[in-house]
Amino acid sequence: MGTLLQEKKDLNEISNLPFNDDDQKQQHFMRNLLALIRILIIVGFAALLLEYIYGTEEASAIVSMVPIQAFLGFLTLILIAIEMIRYRSEDILDRLLTDSQKQQRELAEQNSWWGRFVAKMLDQKPLEKESEIILDHNYDGIQELDNNLLLGGHIFSMLVSSLL
């Protein structure tokens, strides 16, 4: 019984630690931003679908039908709860894993199809190799880097627009 209380106390102390470096703050911000974007996309598609199904030329279904408003609000709250649970469970898992287990998990994420896709889309180069991707033109003293992310964004937007 005493060990269970001690473990709970240790876990509470760990969970109350502040961020110890800027990298953790940036990761925290990015995870929250991605969660917000996911929620907005899902609720946006649900609103568009409901508008397509129930909307009329006279009035918008979202504005005129209270049950649709309630459903979208409830959906938003459910998605926020899911993201909070997911975020907290990842946080607890990160604290419980050893360093070697964290490295294995990170390696597995990088080798997944999504990790390879993101790495290819971002095509990030270290700062030491930045001179290799500087474009030849120079406007008002501003040098531009060759950005492959822009090409990926165009391809993605064309795919999405062709599906719609």
Rounded to whole angstroms, the Cα distance separating 93 from 88 reads 9
Q: Measure the CA dihedral 5/10/15/18, to 10°.
A: 150
Q: What is the pLDDT of residue 137?
A: 73
Take residue 136 and report the two structure tokens written for it: 């030849």
Residues 6+ apart with CB under 8 A from 14: 95
Residue range 5-62, pLDDT digits in tens: 666 565 555 555 555 567 777 777 888 888 899 999 999 999 999 999 988 888 888 8
Residue range 110-145, pLDDT digits in tens: 788 877 777 777 777 777 777 777 777 777 777 777
Residues 6+ apart with CB under 8 A from 153: none
Take residue 69 and report the two structure tokens written for it: 């408003």
Rounded to whole angstroms, the Cα distance separating 6 from 141 reads 61
Take residue 121 and report the two structure tokens written for it: 């889309």
Name the strand (E) or helix (H) holding 102.
Answer: helix 99-111
Name the strand (E) or helix (H) holding 74.
Answer: helix 66-96
Integer CA distances (angstroms), 44 to 1, 13, 88, 93, 148, in order: 49, 39, 25, 31, 28
Answer whether residue 68 shows pLDDT above 80. Answer: yes
Q: What is the pLDDT of residue 79?
A: 95
